[in-house]
Chains A and B, each alone.
Chain A
C-alpha cells in the first residue's frame, strides 16, 4: 500500500499537462483504478481486519485526491502561462503618444507674474491697444512737446488715437476708474507698440507688464520689498536687487532696477556683461501730477509703479537669442516650452 502511494504521488508530480494528469487519475483514482482495486481486496479479509484496512485505503484515497487537486492546479497554471507566451510583445516599440500642446513663452512668463501678484491680492487690469493719446501720454504726465510723442516713435492712427506705447495707459485708465478711492493694487499686462525696426533685440510689438499700488504711506521701501519678491520668484530664491536713480515722467523719484545675474550669481558673465547685474525693471513713486489728474489727493496718498518687458524676462530666463522668435511662431521653438517649471 505504501508503494502504491509513493508510486501514485510520483506520477502526479511528473504529469506535465491535463492529459497526462488524467491518465494518472484514471490509473489510480478512477472506478477501475488501483485504489479501487485495493478496495476490492477487502472482501478477502477477515471481519476484524476489514475496518482497519478500509480506513487505511480511505486515508490513501483522500491523500491522493488532495495531491491530485494540487497537481491539477499546477498543470492548469502552467498551461495558462504557456498560453500567455503568445501575447509576448516588444516593450520597446513607441508608445501611443498623448500630444499635449504648449502655451506661448510670453504667456507663460506673463501668467507667472500675474499669479505671483494675485497671490498677494492684486487684480489684473487690461485696456485697449488702440488708445487715446490722452491716456497714453497726457495722463502719464508726458507733456505735449515731449519727444516720446513724436511721430518718429509712436504709431498714430490720427491726432487723438494711437497704438499704445506702454501699459502705463492701462494704469492711467485704472487710476481714473478708482475715483480717488484706495487701496489700488493692480497688475496691467498687455501688448504695446513702438516704431522700432525689428531686429534681434528690437520689436515693434512687445508685451509689457506694469504694476501699480496706491494707498496711504506707500513708500519706496515698499516698492523695493515688492520687487525683491518678484525677482526671487522669476529668477530664483537667491536673487537680490538694487536701485539706481533714474528718470521717468510717470514717477518721481524714479529708479532702474537691476537683479543680480541668475546665470553667474553676480560674479560676472557674458549675460550680465561682466557686471553681475541685469537691468530688468523701471520703477518709482507715482508722480503727484498723475495722482491729481486721476482724482486722488496727492497730499494724502502715494503710490508706486513698476514696469518690465515680458520678452526681456523670457529672453533671460530661457536663454533665447533673438526677440523675433516670439512672433515667428516656429513650432520647433514653441515646442520647447513644454514642461512644468
Chain B
C-alpha cells in the first residue's frame, strides 16, 4: 500500500521523525516499508520570475535571462526552448543539489550563470505523470505563484510516498487513520482526526430504502444528499490524491476516494436523479449484464453480488459502480453507499471479470465493521465543506454494524514463556495502552478491549505478538530448546535412498531431478505405470497437466537435452516418489549413454551395454544387503520401451522390481536420441524384504584348484544354465564358475557358440588331489553333455 507521509502527517505528528526512522520502525513492527518514492527532490529551490530573456550572444539555442527570486535578481543561462520573460519558474540556486547534478556558478560560452531554471524532470518527478511539454522544457508556474517561496511545497511535491507491504492480518492499516494510530503508538505521538463525529445527528427525514437479499452483504449504509455542487476539488485534495496516483475528477468523486484512503472503506456515490427510485437492494443469484463505469459490460454469474434499483443493475458490488448512475457535471444530488461485502466473493468476481479496483482490493482484504459508518460521516463533512451539500437526509442502515469491542486476555507469564524473555508488566501494560487496547489487570490476567479495527487480535498469542513486535526481537537472546534428549536420524527408507545415491555417485552417475507434472503422452506408456494417471483440474499448460505415473518418460527429456548439446557420454540417476491419491511409490531411474570409461590413448574406452547396467543394478542391491543369488534378470518379451533381445525384468526373490536394458531402437528413433541403457525400478519391495547382516566366515586356508574348460553349445543355452549345472554336478566342491570367453564364428558350427569357463574347486578341510578333481570334472562334463548337448572343445 502507498502512504503519503505528508498526508499521514495531517493526523499524527511526525515532527522530527526522519523518513528512515519512520520506515525502519514500521518495518520492525511488522509493516514492512519496502520502498519509497520522493515526488520531487532538490535543495535550495525557490520560485522566481523571469524579468528579461535574450538570446545568448554565442549560441543559437541558449537564452540569457535575469530572474527575480525576491531577495535578489540572478542572471541565469537557460537552454530550454520555452523560457520567456514574465514566466514564474523554479530556480535552483547555486549550491542546490538535484537528483543528478549539483548547481554551481559557471561560465557558459563566456557568460556567467548563477543557477538553473528547472524542469520537473530535473527534479526527479516521475515522467509518467508529466505531459510531453513538461518533459521538453522548464516548468512554467501559475501567474500567482509566490516569488521567493518553496516551489515543491507550492506544487505539493514536498512528499515522500512509502510503499508498505501489509501482511493479510493488518489490512486495518489500509485505512490511513488506522495507520496514524499505529505510528502514534510506535513513536508515542498524538493523533488528531477530523471531527467527523459531529455529523452524526445531521439529517432530515428520508425516502431512501436500502436492503440486502444476500448474506454476502451483511451491512449496507445509505444516505441521500439532496443538493450539492459539482466543481473542481481544492488544490490540497488534488495534490494528496495525485501523490498516490489517483486521477482527480471533480470534488464529489474525489471526496469518495479521499475518504476511502482515510477510513479504508470504499464508497460509491450514485447520482440520485439517475435512479428510478430511492430504493437500493443488494442481490445475488442474478444473471444478465452490469454496465460498469469503465463502459464495459460484465456478464453476471449467479454467485456475483450486484446492486439493484427496482430490478435494474446499478453496480457490480464492491468492484465498480454502474455507468448509468455515475456522477457528472450535471449531478445535483447523490446517494452515498457504504457497505460490507463478502471478501472471498469480491475476490472471485474481481478475478473472473479481470477488474481489479481500489475498492475490490480493499473489500477482499476485509474491513472494520465500523468503517462504513465512519466513512459516511466523514463524506458528509467533506461534502458540506467542499461541495456545498444541503438537503442532507438521515442515514439509513441495513444490518447491524458491530460496535462491540472484543475482550482478549493474556497471562503475563505466558508472554515471558512464549517469547523467551522477561517483559516487565508495566512495559506490557504500556504497549497495550498505546495500542488503545484499554488494558486492565484482573485475576492475574491482563484483559484487553480490542478496537474493532483490529480484526487480527483474537487469542492470547495475538496479544503476545503485539508485545514482541513493539519491543522488537533484536534484543532477544537465542537459546536452544530445553527438552528431553531424543535420538535423531534417518529412517530405513531414507537410509536406503541415501545409500543408493552415494553408490550411484560412486559409479560415476549424476543425480537429476525432473518435474512431477508432465503431459498426457508421458502417462500412457512406461515401466509399470501406476494406474489412472491423475489430471489437474486447472493446469498451467497441457505440458504440465498430469501427475506422472512413471519416471523414465521424464528422464528422457534430460537425455534429449544433453545429447542435443553434444554431450553423449554420461550416466544419470533419479530417485523420486510417484504420488497418487492414497498411494505413493518410490522409484529409481538409471541411464547410461555412450561410453562409460574413457581413456582413448590407452585404448580403454568402454561403451555402456546391457552388462554395464546389469552390474550397477546388481551392485546397488548387493551393497544394500540383498545377496546376488536373490537377484534375477528375466528376458522381456515385448515392451515398447525396450530392445526385444537386450532387456530384462529385474527380480528380487519372486518380486519384480522393474525393467532394465537397452532402449527400443524404435523409441530412441522417435525421441531423436542415440541408443541408451536404462532402468526403472520400484524401491518399495526392498523395504519390505529381509536384508543380510554382515557375517564373518573363517578364511579357508586350503588352496583352491582351477580348471578351464571350453564347450560348444547351442546359442539358446544361457550362461546361467551352465553355471547351475556345473555347481550342481560337483556339489559342494565348486567354489566358483566364471565365463571368461564367449565366441561364435569360424571353427564354430552355425547356431552354436563356444564358451570358455574357469571352474574353481575347493574343499574346506583338505587340499584336493588330482584324482578327486578328475572325478568331479568328469561328472561335470557328463552333466553338461546330457543336459545341454555340450561338446567339449579340444
How far is A161 from B581 in the complex, measured between Cα atoms in Å?
A: 7
Distance in Å: Cβ of B83 to nearest Cβ of chain A: 39
B687 at the interface (CB under 8 A from A): no
Once the chains bind, are B459 and A288 in contact (CB under 8 Å)? yes
**Inside 8 A of A335's CB, which chain B residues have their CB?**
510
Once the chains bind, are B515 and A327 in contact (CB under 8 Å)? yes
Distance in Å: Cβ of A314 to nearest Cβ of chain B: 11
A205 at the interface (CB under 8 A from B): yes
CB within 8 Å of A: which B367-402 residues: none
Contact flag A253-B421 (CB < 8 Å), given A156-B537, A243-B473: no
B488 at the interface (CB under 8 A from A): yes
Which residues of A are in contact with B by a Cβ distance under 8 Å? Answer: 93-94, 96-104, 106-107, 111, 114, 117-124, 126, 128-130, 145, 147, 150-152, 155-158, 161, 163, 182-183, 185, 191, 193, 195, 197, 204-205, 213, 215-222, 224-229, 242-247, 252-255, 285, 287-288, 302, 326-332, 334-335
How far is A99 from B605 in the complex, measured between Cα atoms in Å?
A: 13
Other-chain contact of A215, B478, B483, B567, B584 (Cβ < 8 Å): B483
Q: Which 4 residue pairs of A and B lie closest in terms of their CB atoms, listed nearest first?
A: A221-B420, A219-B420, A225-B478, A245-B30
Contact flag A101-B419 (CB < 8 Å), given A124-B494, A219-B479, A226-B481: no
Distance in Å: Cβ of B570 to nearest Cβ of chain A: 6
Once the chains bind, are A328 and B580 in contact (CB under 8 Å)? no
B150 at the interface (CB under 8 A from A): no
**Inside 8 A of A327's CB, which chain B residues have their CB?**
513-515
Distance in Å: Cβ of B536 to nearest Cβ of chain A: 5
Once the chains bind, are A220 and B540 in contact (CB under 8 Å)? no
Once the chains bind, are A123 and B579 in contact (CB under 8 Å)? no
**Inside 8 A of B509's CB, which chain A residues have their CB?**
101
B486 at the interface (CB under 8 A from A): yes
Other-chain contact of A163, B344, B459, B513, B547 (Cβ < 8 Å): B547
Q: Which residue of A lies closest to B466 (CB)?
A: A253
Contact flag A118-B490 (CB < 8 Å), given A101-B504, A243-B476: yes
Once the chains bind, are A205 and B351 in contact (CB under 8 Å)? no
CB within 8 Å of A: which B419-463 residues: 419-421, 456, 459-462
Distance in Å: Cβ of B546 to nearest Cβ of chain A: 10
Once the chains bind, are A252 and B482 in contact (CB under 8 Å)? no
Distance in Å: Cβ of A150 to nearest Cβ of chain B: 8
Distance in Å: Cβ of A206 to nearest Cβ of chain B: 10
Once the chains bind, are A245 and B465 in contact (CB under 8 Å)? yes
Distance in Å: Cβ of B772 to nearest Cβ of chain A: 42
B720 at the interface (CB under 8 A from A): no
How far is A100 from B507 in the complex, measured between Cα atoms in Å?
A: 6
Contact flag A93-B515 (CB < 8 Å), given A145-B343, A156-B537, A221-B476: no
How far is A279 from B98 in the complex, measured between Cα atoms in Å?
A: 33
**Inside 8 A of B28's CB, which chain A residues have their CB?**
244-245
B718 at the interface (CB under 8 A from A): no
Once the chains bind, are A145 and B561 in contact (CB under 8 Å)? no
Other-chain contact of A213, B461, B481, B494 (Cβ < 8 Å): B481
How far is A247 from B601 in the complex, measured between Cα atoms in Å?
A: 63
Distance in Å: Cβ of B773 to nearest Cβ of chain A: 38
21 residue pairs of the A-B complex, CB under 8 angstroms, read A111-B498, A120-B480, A121-B487, A124-B490, A130-B547, A147-B347, A163-B517, A185-B486, A205-B515, A215-B483, A219-B419, A220-B420, A222-B480, A224-B478, A225-B480, A247-B167, A287-B461, A329-B558, A331-B567, A332-B567, A334-B512
Once the chains bind, are A219 and B418 in contact (CB under 8 Å)? yes
**Inside 8 A of B602's CB, which chain A residues have their CB?**
96
B491 at the interface (CB under 8 A from A): yes
Residue with the highest number of chain A CB atoms closer than 10 Å, among B168, B510, B597: B510
Digit string of B620-656 for contact with A (CB within 8 Å is 1, else 0)? 0000000000000000000000000000000000000
Contact flag A244-B505 (CB < 8 Å), given A94-B601, A104-B511: no
Q: Which residue of B lies closest to A284 (CB)?
A: B465
Which residues of B are in contact with A by a Cβ distance under 8 Å? Answer: 27-30, 32, 167-170, 343-344, 347-348, 351, 364, 417-421, 456, 459-462, 464-465, 468-469, 473-474, 476-491, 493-494, 498, 501, 504-517, 534-540, 544, 547, 558, 561-562, 565, 567, 570-573, 577, 579-581, 584, 596-599, 601-602, 604
Once the chains bind, are A107 and B501 in contact (CB under 8 Å)? yes
Once the chains bind, are B511 and A195 in contact (CB under 8 Å)? no
Beyond A101-B504, A193-B516, A244-B473, 16 additional pairs, beta carbon < 8 A: A96-B604, A101-B573, A107-B511, A111-B498, A122-B488, A157-B537, A163-B536, A163-B547, A185-B481, A220-B476, A221-B420, A225-B478, A244-B28, A244-B30, A302-B417, A329-B562
Other-chain contact of A121, B169, B351, B488 (Cβ < 8 Å): B488
Q: Which residue of A lies closest to B599 (CB)?
A: A96
Once the chains bind, are B351 and A219 in contact (CB under 8 Å)? no
Distance in Å: Cβ of A160 to nearest Cβ of chain B: 9
**Inside 8 A of A204's CB, which chain B residues have their CB?**
515, 517, 540, 544
**Inside 8 A of B168's CB, which chain A residues have their CB?**
147, 247
Contact flag A245-B29 (CB < 8 Å), given A123-B488, A302-B417, A331-B562: yes
Once the chains bind, are A157 and B536 in contact (CB under 8 Å)? yes
**Inside 8 A of B516's CB, which chain A residues have their CB?**
129, 163, 191, 193, 205
Once the chains bind, are A101 and B508 in contact (CB under 8 Å)? yes
Contact flag A103-B501 (CB < 8 Å), given A123-B489, A253-B461: yes
How far is A330 from B567 in the complex, measured between Cα atoms in Å?
A: 9
Once the chains bind, are A103 and B511 in contact (CB under 8 Å)? yes
Q: Which residue of B lies closest to A327 (CB)?
A: B515
Distance in Å: Cβ of A293 to nearest Cβ of chain B: 14
Once the chains bind, are A220 and B473 in contact (CB under 8 Å)? yes
How far is A335 from B351 in the complex, measured between Cα atoms in Å?
A: 44
Distance in Å: Cβ of A331 to nearest Cβ of chain B: 5
**Inside 8 A of A246's CB, which chain B residues have their CB?**
30, 32, 167
How far is A148 from B28 in the complex, measured between Cα atoms in Å?
A: 25
Once the chains bind, are B489 and A245 in contact (CB under 8 Å)? no
Q: Which residue of A lies closest to B571 (CB)?
A: A101
How far is A246 from B165 in the complex, measured between Cα atoms in Å?
A: 10
Distance in Å: Cβ of B476 to nearest Cβ of chain A: 5
Once the chains bind, are B512 and A158 in contact (CB under 8 Å)? no
Once the chains bind, are B465 and A99 in contact (CB under 8 Å)? no
**Inside 8 A of A106's CB, which chain B residues have their CB?**
513
Contact flag A331-B505 (CB < 8 Å), given A216-B483, A244-B30: no
Distance in Å: Cβ of A282 to nearest Cβ of chain B: 11
Distance in Å: Cβ of B416 to nearest Cβ of chain A: 8
**Inside 8 A of B570's CB, which chain A residues have their CB?**
331
How far is A275 from B609 in the complex, measured between Cα atoms in Å?
A: 55
Once the chains bind, are A252 and B459 in contact (CB under 8 Å)? yes
**Inside 8 A of B534's CB, which chain A residues have their CB?**
130, 157
Residue with the highest number of chain B CB atoms closer than 10 Å, among A155, A225, A227, A330: A155
Q: Which residue of B lies closest to A224 (CB)?
A: B478
How far is A204 from B516 in the complex, measured between Cα atoms in Å?
A: 10
Once the chains bind, are B421 and A221 in contact (CB under 8 Å)? yes
Q: Which residue of B lies closest to A191 (CB)?
A: B516
How far is A84 from B639 in the complex, measured between Cα atoms in Å?
A: 58
**Inside 8 A of A126's CB, which chain B residues have their CB?**
493-494
Other-chain contact of B481, A111, A124, A129, A215 (Cβ < 8 Å): A215
How far is A120 from B305 in the complex, measured between Cα atoms in Å?
A: 55
Other-chain contact of A118, B465, B473, B477, B488 (Cβ < 8 Å): B488
Once the chains bind, are B351 and A152 in contact (CB under 8 Å)? yes
How far is A72 from B478 in the complex, measured between Cα atoms in Å?
A: 79
How far is A116 from B288 in the complex, measured between Cα atoms in Å?
A: 61
Once the chains bind, are A334 and B510 in contact (CB under 8 Å)? yes
How far is A302 from B418 in the complex, measured between Cα atoms in Å?
A: 7
Distance in Å: Cβ of B699 to nearest Cβ of chain A: 29
Once the chains bind, are A103 and B505 in contact (CB under 8 Å)? yes
Contact flag A220-B468 (CB < 8 Å), given A96-B602, A130-B580, A288-B459: yes
**Inside 8 A of A285's CB, which chain B residues have their CB?**
418, 461
**Inside 8 A of B474's CB, which chain A residues have their CB?**
242-243
Residue with the highest number of chain B CB atoms closer than 10 Å, among A101, A147, A285: A101
How far is A251 from B216 in the complex, measured between Cα atoms in Å?
A: 29
How far is A111 from B497 in the complex, measured between Cα atoms in Å?
A: 12
**Inside 8 A of A121's CB, which chain B residues have their CB?**
485-488
